[in-house]
């Protein structure tokens, strides 16, 4: 008898769960059903708001919403209001194809904005290119993205452009010639950034005295730092993310290794300062297309920082800035082309030159690759990410 009672409960719980799932789907769908296609310009958000890459998608979506609100407050685009369509692709490659197709066929979006990940962007870009809809990635830095076709754009600082200038600064301006390179082996970004750095170091006459590796999610880097210390480098190059950079520097400080660490914009995160404490102060330096603070010549970034803080009560990051810019750049191109038809406004978009965005100064090259110049070198000062120096981008 007791068992039966339990079984009934179990059944009831199952039913409740099923209903809530059905209700949840209904709720999501209804936003897009009230389609007044003629009055609004729809923009499809690509990104994850749950799952392992949600920390790129969530701030990205916030930046996108903020930009849409601002555009609409200032009269919209060509007399129409912008409307964002938001689906969570969970960072999943099947999910993003479904969502991209849905945005294009059902919502009839004028542009797709995202995804922050290179691999996912490529999947969506192929679908967008086939259907002749503009896709604007606010995060993809890997190779082979804009090559997919003339409807594909991105506004990120590309490592292959930035690294040679940064290494030039490191080796020739600072005179740090003996270099230790540390890679995080289970981090794709790090694994693909390391050869870019090594290549540039070779070309600029630097010398790699030791190569070490770590893994993301680990905490014990004692053995690696002991090894690095013995090789007596002038500087560390670490190609991974901020968490591990902070932990590496903590360990270096503990072992009495007083040294700078240079890395890419994977080190961009407020947690760098929080986790690293004194160990990262003016020691960790990374490149980025822009700096939120300490850069008087870029008032838009500072204004964005203040507005974002007022709206969301948190600090923006690289993704919120890039999604924000993506919307603004798209709106500008539509206005300039006097059309919301992707096959028309994409030509205006490709002509973008010296656009002063919150994520830096952007120009599209003839092959649509973004050039962000100058590059900002950022460090931690008094627990805050602050501009250290600006260097021009030299591309052969």
Return the half-sphere exposure (C-beta side, CA atoms, 13 A cut-off) of residue 114.
Answer: 38
Query: What residues contact residue 373 under an 8 Å CB cut-off, 6+ apart?
Result: 361, 363, 392, 393
Distances from the Cα of 103 to the Cα of 46, 174, 351, 377, angstroms: 10, 49, 26, 38
User: Helix, strand, or coil here: 215?
Assistant: coil
d(C-alpha 192, C-alpha 183), whole Å? 9
> Could you tell me if 324 and 300 are in contact, meaning their C-beta atoms sit under 8 angstroms apart?
no
Angle between helices 299-312 and 54-73 (to 10 degrees): 100
Contact status: 259 vs another protein (CB under 8 A): no
Q: Which of residues 120-179 bind another protein (CB under 8 A)?
A: none
Number of other CB atoms surrounding residue 199 within 10 Å: 14
Contact status: 187 vs another protein (CB under 8 A): no
Of 14-22, 147-155, 215-223, 333-341: span binding another protein (CB under 8 A):
215-223
Contact status: 185 vs another protein (CB under 8 A): yes
Interface pattern 276-315 for another protein (x via CB under 8 A): -xx-------------------------------------
CA angle 262, 182, 284 (to 5 degrees): 25
Phi, psi of 135 (to 5 degrees): -120, 130
Contact status: 42 vs another protein (CB under 8 A): no
DSSP 354: S
Residue 68 vs 247, nearer CB to another protein:
247
> Could you tell me if 109 and 85 are in contact, meaning their C-beta atoms sit under 8 angstroms apart?
yes
Kindly state the smallest distance separating residue 294's Cβ from another protein, in Å: 24
Candidate residues 172, 226, 343, 347; the one interacting with another protein per rule CB under 8 A: 226
Bridge partners (DSSP) of residue 381 are 384
Return the half-sphere exposure (C-beta side, CA atoms, 13 A cut-off) of residue 206.
Answer: 32
Contact status: 331 vs another protein (CB under 8 A): no
Residue 115 vs 212, nearer CB to another protein:
212
d(C-alpha 243, C-alpha 219), whole Å? 10
Of 147-155, 165-173, 208-216, 325-333: span binding another protein (CB under 8 A):
208-216
Of 127-135, 192-200, 271-279, 307-315: span binding another protein (CB under 8 A):
271-279
Kindly state the smallest distance separating residue 357's Cβ from another protein, in Å: 28
Question: Residue 102 has which token pair?
Answer: 């849905």
Following DSSP, what letter does each residue of 13-37 receive, concatenated?
HHHHHHHHHHHHHHHHHHHHHS--T
Contact status: 271 vs another protein (CB under 8 A): yes
Kindly state the smallest distance separating residue 222's Cβ from another protein, in Å: 4
Contact status: 50 vs another protein (CB under 8 A): no
Of 159-167, 267-275, 303-311, 351-359: span binding another protein (CB under 8 A):
267-275
Candidate residues 222, 297, 347, 394; the one interacting with another protein per rule CB under 8 A: 222
The residue assigned the tokens 């970004």 is 189
Candidate residues 35, 72, 213, 293; the one interacting with another protein per rule CB under 8 A: 213
Of 74-82, 192-200, 241-249, 374-382: span binding another protein (CB under 8 A):
241-249
Candidate residues 8, 203, 207, 254; the one interacting with another protein per rule CB under 8 A: 254
| Residues of the shown chain interacting with another protein in the complex, contacts defined by CB under 8 A | 185, 212-215, 217-220, 222-224, 226-227, 230, 243, 246-247, 250-251, 253-256, 271, 274-275, 277-278
């Amino acid at each position: 008898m007791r068992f039966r009672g339990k079984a009934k409960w179990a059944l009831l719980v199952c039913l409740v769960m099923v209903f809530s799932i059905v209700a949840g789907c209904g709720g999501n769908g209804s936003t897009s059903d009230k389609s007044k296609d003629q009055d609004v310009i729809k923009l499809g958000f690509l990104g994850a708001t749950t799952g392992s890459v949600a920390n790129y998608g969530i701030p990205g979506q916030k930046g996108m919403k903020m930009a849409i609100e601002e555009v609409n407050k200032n009269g919209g685009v060509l007399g129409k209001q912008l409307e964002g369509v938001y689906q969570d692709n969970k960072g999943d490659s099947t999910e993003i194809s479904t969502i991209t197709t849905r945005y294009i066929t059902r919502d009839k979006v004028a542009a797709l904005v995202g995804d922050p990940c290179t691999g996912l962007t490529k999947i969506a870009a192929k679908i967008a290119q086939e259907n002749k809809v503009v896709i604007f990635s606010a995060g993809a830095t890997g190779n082979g993205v804009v090559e997919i076709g003339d409807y594909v754009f991105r506004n990120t600082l590309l490592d292959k452009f930035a690294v040679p200038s940064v290494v030039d600064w490191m080796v020739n301006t600072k005179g740090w010639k003996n270099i230790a390179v540390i890679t995080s082996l289970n981090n794709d970004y790090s694994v693909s950034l390391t050869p870019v750095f090594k290549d540039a170091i070779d070309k600029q006459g630097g010398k790699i005295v030791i190569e070490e590796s770590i893994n993301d999610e680990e905490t014990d880097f004692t053995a690696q730092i002991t090894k690095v210390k013995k090789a007596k480098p002038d500087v560390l190059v670490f190609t991974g993310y901020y968490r591990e950079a902070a932990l590496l520097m903590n360990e270096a400080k503990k072992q009495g290794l007083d040294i700078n660490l240079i890395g890419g914009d994977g080190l961009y995160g407020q947690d760098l300062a929080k986790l690293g404490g004194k160990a990262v102060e003016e020691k960790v330096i990374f490149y980025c297309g822009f700096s939120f603070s300490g850069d008087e010549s870029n008032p838009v970034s500072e204004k964005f920082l203040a507005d974002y803080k007022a709206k969301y009560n948190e600090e923006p990051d690289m993704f919120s800035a890039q999604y924000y810019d993506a919307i603004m750049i798209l709106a500008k191109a539509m206005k300039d082309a006097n059309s919301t038809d992707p096959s028309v406004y994409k030509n205006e978009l490709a002509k973008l030159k010296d656009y002063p965005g919150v994520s830096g100064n952007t120009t599209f090259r003839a092959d649509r690759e973004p050039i962000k110049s100058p590059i900002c070198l950022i460090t931690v000062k008094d627990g805050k990410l602050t501009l250290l120096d600006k260097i021009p981008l030299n591309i052969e």
